[in-house]
Amino acid sequence: MTVDDARSVASALPRSYEAVVRDRLRFRVGRIVYAAFSDDETIMGFGFPKEERESLVAAQPDQIAYIIFDSSVVTSFMPTLFPPIGAPTIAELAGKLELDPIALEKTVTDFNAAVQPGTFDHTILDDCRTAGITPAKTHWARKIEHAPYLAYPVRPGITFTYLGTRVNRQSRMVMKDGKPSANMFAAGEIMAGNVLGKGYAAGIGMTIGSVFGRVAGREAARNAKN
C-alpha cells in the first residue's frame, strides 16, 4: 500500500486527518495514530498512543481480561448472548475464572476504595470516577459490592479488515492481471473488503459469508462438473 492508497482510504473515514510528525506521515483520529509511515514511506505500521498501550487487553501477556461487575448493574446494559459467569463472593468468582482469589479480592477492594462520591448518570460523562488507581475509571465508576458478583472474560478480535482478495460476481478470485481465476473462489471475511468500503451494518459479516458462500459453492460445483 502506498501513501496515496492510504490517503484515499483515510479521506473516506470520518474524523480522520493527516499529520506530519518528525518528518513521518501519520493518519490520525483525534490523538490516536492509527497508521504511520516510515521516513522513506516504504513501511506502514498501525499505532495506538504509547501511554494508552499498556492498558490494552491486547497488550496483556495472555491477551485476556475480565469485566467484573455486580448484580446492581445487570439491567443497565443490553442483554448479552451468553450469560455472565456468576458467584456469591469475589473469591468464588475468581475460582470460576481460574484467577488467584486473593489477588482478585484485593483488586476489587482497591477499586472500591478508589471510587469517589458522585452522581451517577450513564447518559453523560458523569462525575463518578476513581482516584489513586491505574488505569483510572474516569466516569461511571461505582463500587462492586452487591452479590452475586458477575464477570465476562474478554479477548481482542478483528471484526473486519476491509482488505482481502478481489472477486467477481461469480465469487471467482480476480488475479493480478485483472482476469478471473478459472478454479479459485473466495467467500466471506477474506473478500468482505469488496463489499464494505467503510463501517458496516449489523449482520453484514454473516450476510456476506452466506451470500457469497452460496455463490462460490454453486460456481465451484459448476466448474467441477464441466
Ligand X SMILES: Cc1cc2nc3c(=O)[nH]c(=O)nc-3n(C[C@H](O)[C@H](O)[C@H](O)COP(=O)(O)OP(=O)(O)OC[C@H]3O[C@@H](n4cnc5c(N)ncnc54)[C@H](O)[C@@H]3O)c2cc1C
Q: Which residues bind ligand X (CB under 6 A)?
A: 157-159, 188-189, 192, 203-206, 209
Q: Which is nearer to ligand X, 3 or 215 (CB)?
A: 215
Name the residue number minimizing CB distance to ligand X.
188
> What would the grid cell of residue 200 be?
458496516
Q: Choose between 140 and 152: whose C-beta lies nearer to ligand X.
A: 152
Q: How far is the CB of 114 from ligand X (least distance, A)?
A: 30
Q: Of 87 and 184, which has the nearer Cβ to ligand X?
A: 184
Smallest distance, Å, CB 205 to ligand X?
3
| Sheet order of strands, 65-70 included | 65-70, 149-154, 85-87
User: What is the smallest separation between the CB atom of 213 and ligand X, expressed in angstroms?
Assistant: 7
User: Minimal distance in Å, beta carbon 156 to ligand X?
Assistant: 9
Q: Are 194 and 166 in contact (CB under 8 A)?
A: yes
Strand segments (E) across the chain: 16-21, 24-29, 32-37, 44-45, 65-70, 85-87, 149-154, 172-174, 180-185
Q: Is the peptide bond before 84 cis (omega within 30 degrees of 0)?
A: no
Helices (H), the chain: 3-11, 50-53, 90-97, 101-114, 204-225
Q: How far is the CB of 158 from ligand X (least distance, A)?
A: 6
State the CB neighbour count (10 A cutoff) for residue 108: 20
Nearer to ligand X, 148 or 205 (CB): 205
Angle of helix 101-114 versus helix 90-97 axis, rounded to 10? 130
